[in-house]
Structure formats: structure tokens, C-alpha cells
Amino acid sequence: LDESDQTIEIQYFDGSLEELDNEIWQEKQLTTAAPPEDWSGPFDDLEADDLADPDIPAHTTDVGEFIDELEY
């Protein structure tokens, strides 16, 4: 969103960008869509090792051990 230009920039799965003025954006019939199974579309330089296992959390919710290791 660029408020000074009154435009909205959207990025498609293939990485291409489109800039819409606010008037056109307001006329769009938008619907909710599920996220793509393969989110890597706009990234050209990813290797297989860069893709994390979606079933494994990116970080732990238990930060207790981390906090205990902090030095005061």
C-alpha cells in the first residue's frame, strides 16, 4: 500500500508484481483463498535444503531453556 500514490502492489505466485490504483482495487471482487502448498514460487534461488519441513515448527513455543541459558 502506497498511501501517497493511492496504489496497492500485489505479488503473484510466479513473483510478478502488479500495481493497482485504489479505485480499481475497490472495484475488485476479492475472495479468501487458501495459501499455496508450495510457497516458493516467487523465490528463484531456493535450494531443496532451504525449504523447511512444514510439519516441524520454525521455533519452539517453550523458551524456558533459552531463557535459562541467558547470562545476566
pLDDT tens track for 32-63: 888 777 766 666 666 666 666 666 666 656 66
39 found inside a domain: no
Whether residue 28 has pLDDT greater than 80: yes
1 found inside a domain: yes
pLDDT given at position 55: 67
pLDDT given at position 56: 63
Query: Count of residues for the chain?
Result: 72
Helix, strand or coil, per DSSP, at residue 51:
coil
43 found inside a domain: no
44 found inside a domain: no
63 found inside a domain: no
pTM: 0.47
State phi, psi for 11 to the nearest 5 degrees. Answer: -120, 130
Sign of the four-CA dihedral 12, 29, 8, 23 = positive
60 found inside a domain: no
57 found inside a domain: no
Three cell numbers at 32? 479468501
Decide which of 3 and 72 is more confident. 3
DSSP 62: -
The boundaries of the domain holding residue 15 are 1-29
Provide the percentage of residues in the chain whose pLDDT is more than 90. Answer: 11
Total number of domains in the chain: 1
Of 55, 24, 20, 54, nearest to 40 by C-alpha is: 54
Residue type, 47: E
